[in-house]
Amino acid sequence: MVSAQQGAAASTASPGAAAPAGPIDAAIARNIVAAVADPELVVLTIDELGVLRSVAVDAGGRVTVTITPTYSGCPAMDAIRADIRAALAAAGHRHVDIVTRLDPPWSTDLISESGRTKLAAAGIAPPVRLAGPVPVALSVKCPRCGSLDTERLSQFGSTACKALWRCRGCREPFDQIKPL
């Protein structure tokens, strides 16, 4: 159980779930959950996005997964929970608790380097890191041609976490993950 000092959290257990057929290793459970794709940024897993905080397995085989939404009210969280349950169930593990941890909050700094590379390869400009020294960028680098000659078309893109940009060099529009 999560204490009030650990932050706001919610837990949901699989209704009517049976105990796993055999013991599950925590590292195996983490690998299964880490491979779940984000439903809005399908090129990333929830681990690469930084949404997956931890996976633990108790002596009885119950798997506890802790996740953090990218923002309050994120509509993808229900789909992420369902996908985590489905992935673990496919591996024979139906006794699952999913804890939503709001504190510390998610930040774009949690996106992994491999996640940033995948975003750029998919034509989405990855956010700059906010922790530590912050480079002053006058523009966003085009993920297609690499040009810094870009302009923001809209603060709001296809989802709440994206802004819409256009490259003046190659004239292609692209999304940028907003730094948080």
Which residues are within 8 A (CB) of 178 and not within 5 positions of it... i.e. 6 or more apart? 108, 127, 161, 162, 163
In which order are the strands placed within the sheet that holds 9-13?
A: 9-13, 96-101, 63-67, 52-57
Residue 92 near residue 20, CB atoms below 8 Å: yes
Q: What is the pLDDT of residues 34-43, one digit of tens each?
A: 999 999 999 9
How would residue 136 be classed by pLDDT, with cut points 50, 70 and 90?
A: low
Q: What is the pLDDT of residues 42-60, one digit of tens each?
A: 999 999 999 999 999 998 8
> Domains along the chain?
4-106 (3.30.300.130), 122-177 (no CATH)
CA gap 57, 19 in Å, rounded: 12
4: number of Cβ within 10 Å: 7
User: Coil, strand, or helix at residue 136?
Assistant: coil
Exposure string over 52-83, b if 16+ CB within 10 A, otherwise e? bbebebeeebbbbbbbbbbeeebebbeebbeb
What is the pLDDT at residue 43?
95
Residue 1 near residue 9, CB atoms below 8 Å: no
Provide the whole-model pTM.
0.69
How would residue 23 be classed by pLDDT, with cut points 50, 70 and 90?
A: low
Pick 60 or 115 by higher pLDDT: 115
What is the pLDDT at residue 9?
40
Answer yes or no: is pLDDT of 109 > 60.
Answer: yes
What is the pLDDT at residue 179?
80
Chain position carrying tokens 């923002």 = 71
What is the pLDDT at residue 134?
57
